Amino acid sequence: GEDVEQSLFLSVREGDSSVINCTYTDSSSTYLYWYKQEPGAGLQLLTYIFSNMDMKQDQRLTVLLNKKDKHLSLRIADTQTGDSAIYFCAESKGGGGSYIPTFGRGTSLIVHP
Amino acid sequence: DVKVTQSSRYLVKRTGEKVFLECVQDMDHENMFWYRQDPGLGLRLIYFSYDVKMKEKGDIPEGYSVSREKKERFSLILESASTNQTSMYLCASSRPQRDTQYFGPGTRLTVL
């Protein structure tokens, strides 16, 4: 199976909250990332969380980590049409270990009026 | 801000042509990467480099080669382009021992 799994699509109404989920298999993962890719562009780092944290909040974004279940989520409050993009979850061991993140296949978030 | 630039946003080539994709970063990063992105498959690592003149194969190196003559520049070469290499190509860079990657805008390559 894949190392990092995400659902491929999510559709939400403007103003609602979006929750994008991700599961990973490597229990030694140290860093977990969320990247955003807007149409026709490269990936942009949105946020990341260390494995010793449960939650991280940054304005409209909330990241929740359940290390026991190896589950990561990204919640976007008050979702706007500008949030329509592909969101990639990634994990890495960090530090002296592998410095190459493993990416999920990406979740396409579609925001409709 | 970290800036990673790629030489072309869109490129159209013919089967059998030799293709060069260039990537330049301005943050003195040691690590550089080439990925291809295809719908439903996510990002797949082609090659990476952790120093000048060093290169390592990623998950799908077949049909590709790379060159890193200068620290800031990492080139991806398709020796003889084929239609199955039609894809979005993304370059990224990162600092040594750090995993946060900074991506370029991508090059959409079409091979006819």
Please state, as a whole number, how many other Cβ atoms lie within 10 Å of the Cβ of residue B15.
11
Return the pLDDT at B21.
Answer: 97
What residues in chain A have their Cβ under 8 A from chain B's Cβ atoms? 8, 31, 33, 35, 40-45, 48, 88, 92, 94-96, 99-101, 103-106
Give the closest of B33, B98, B106 to A41, CB-based.
B106
- pLDDT of A2 > 80? The answer is no
Give the closest of A33, A42, A45 to B90, CB-based.
A42
A chain contacts of residue B94, beta-carbon cutoff 8 Å: 99
A4-59 per-position pLDDT tens digit? 999 899 999 999 999 999 999 887 778 899 999 998 889 999 999 988 889 999 99
B6-50 per-position pLDDT tens digit? 999 999 999 999 999 999 999 899 999 999 999 888 899 999 998
Return the pLDDT at B64.
Answer: 98
How far is residue B89's CA from residue B97's CA, in Å, rounded to a whole number? Answer: 24
Supply the DSSP symbol for A111: E
A chain contacts of residue B108, beta-carbon cutoff 8 Å: 40
Q: What does the DSSP assignment read for chain B?
A: ---EEES-SEEEE-TT--EEEEEEESS--SEEEEEEEETTTEEEEEEEESSTT--EE-S--TTEEEEEEETTEEEEEESS--GGG-EEEEEEEE-TT----EE---EEEEE-
How far is residue A46's CA from residue B53's CA, in Å, rounded to a whole number? Answer: 31
B66-105 per-position pLDDT tens digit? 999 999 999 999 999 999 999 999 999 988 766 688 999 9
Distance from CA of A80 to the nearest CA of B (A): 23
How far is residue A23's CA from residue A5's CA, in Å, rounded to a whole number? Answer: 5
Distance from CA of A100 to the nearest CA of B (A): 6
Buried b / exposed e over B84-111, threshold 16 CB at 10 Å, is ebbbbbbbbbbbeeebbbbbbbbbbbeb
Query: With bands split at pLDDT 50, 70 and 90, how would you rate the model's confidence at A97?
Result: very low
Give the number of residues written for chain A: 113
